[in-house]
Amino acid sequence: MFSGVSINLALGILYSWSIISSGVPAAWGWSETEKSLPYSVSCLVFCLMMVPAGRLQDRAGPSITAAMGGILVGAGMILSSLFDSPVAYVLGFGFLTGSGIAFGYGSTVPPAVKWFPRSKTGMISGVVVSGSGLASVYAAPLSEFLISRTGISWTMRILGIGIVAVVTVFSAFLKSPPRGFDDPGPGELPACGKPGECSAFDMLRDWRFYLLWAMYACGAGAGLMVISKLKLIAGAQAGLSLGFILVAVLAIGNGGGRILAGLVSDRIGRRAAFIACFLFQAVLILLLSTARSGTYLAAAVPLSILCMLIGANYGANLSLFPSISKDYFGLKNFGVNYGLLFTSWGLGGFMLSLVAGKAYDMSGSFDVAYYMSCVLLVLAAAGAFLLRSRG
């Protein structure tokens, strides 16, 4: 489990994109929409590659898959650093780094949850993925420091080399339990009728998969939109030069929210946890839309608390959805099954981060993106009422 957390701490560089993109020199001539593209494409590629990554993890094991992920992440960041065009960053950070994050991230949760009983699924999922959420605590100030000293190109190279080193070392310690180890415990019988053995085909015949897919897109997309533009929100909207601090504060909420949501959902059920997180997030984003220069919420402390809570509710998605995937569809094909469900995470992040960038280019405000996110979150909460209260 420690290795999984460490790998995710390295791969969480994605959540510091708002700091990295702010380091793009004005001489490069990038628009705000173009600054959104590498991050948006990386989110989309990340989610799509989770399917083959999950299949490889199920068949070849987590160690090999994670090592491949680390190498791809580093290669993508180094490739990006050699050029100054949005196209190069889309190819490097978007496609290669996004693919690498999928292979690394997709190798950490499956082996961890397989070692523990069903009653602790939420907690274990939350702990393992908390690394990815907490990454910006160090990555945001580190990126800010490196950019101020060396520029964005050398920053990408240094971070890329570091990620390759960390992920390849810790990937050697990832291991799945022997066949037949899992005791799924009591719970709802999966669609395939065989607890723990649902194939991807079985899952795709279950209506719950499509409901969960839509809920995931709404919940994750809202959080990713804020993460991708947080430094600009702090500066242009709230009038504060605290971008990297807010990114780090949001990361603390992101990591802590994953653990807390997992623990709580093990006790009160996934449905109640989903409803609470989605509705609370909608309220928080509405409050964020009012945090403008000169208002109370635009002050450093209230805005920091608001960002931490938004991060916590976003992070809850990354704990609750793998947990309910295990609950409903079992462990035998967990890698590919959760990979298919995870495609919604990338689509939500891709669409809403682009909407945010486009809205700002057209109006100088994120209001349209804020209100769209709130509507989607309320719809996701309504969908959660169709789930069973437990398991």
pLDDT tens across 356-382, in order? 878 888 888 888 889 999 999 999 999
pLDDT exceeds 70 at position 283: yes
For residue 391, is it within any domain? no
What separation in angstroms does the CA of 371 have from each of 14, 194, 250, 296? 24, 42, 20, 21
- Please report the pLDDT score of residue 361 as a whole number: 83
Q: What is the pLDDT of residues 233-244, one digit of tens each?
A: 888 887 777 767
Q: What is the pLDDT of residues 16-59, one digit of tens each?
A: 787 888 888 988 998 878 888 898 888 889 888 988 988 888 78
- Phi/psi region, residue 194 (left: phi>0; alpha: psi -120 to 50; beta: rest), is beta
pLDDT band at residue 73 using 50, 70 and 90 as cut-offs: very high
For residue 389, is it within any domain? no
- Domain extent, residue 111, equals 2-175+192-384
Q: What is the pLDDT of residues 161-215, one digit of tens each?
A: 999 999 999 988 888 776 665 554 544 445 565 555 788 888 888 899 999 999 9
pLDDT band at residue 122 using 50, 70 and 90 as cut-offs: low
pLDDT band at residue 391 using 50, 70 and 90 as cut-offs: very low
- The total domain count for the chain is 1
For residue 182, is it within any domain? no
Give the Cα separation of 105 and 274 in Å (integer). 22
CATH number, domain of 63, equals: 1.20.1250.20
For residue 185, is it within any domain? no
Give the Cα separation of 218 and 269 in Å (integer). 20
* Single pTM value for the model: 0.76
pLDDT band at residue 117 using 50, 70 and 90 as cut-offs: low
Give the Cα separation of 281 and 297 in Å (integer). 16
Give the Cα separation of 74 and 156 in Å (integer). 9
- As a whole number, mean pLDDT of residues 305-324 equals 91
For residue 181, is it within any domain? no
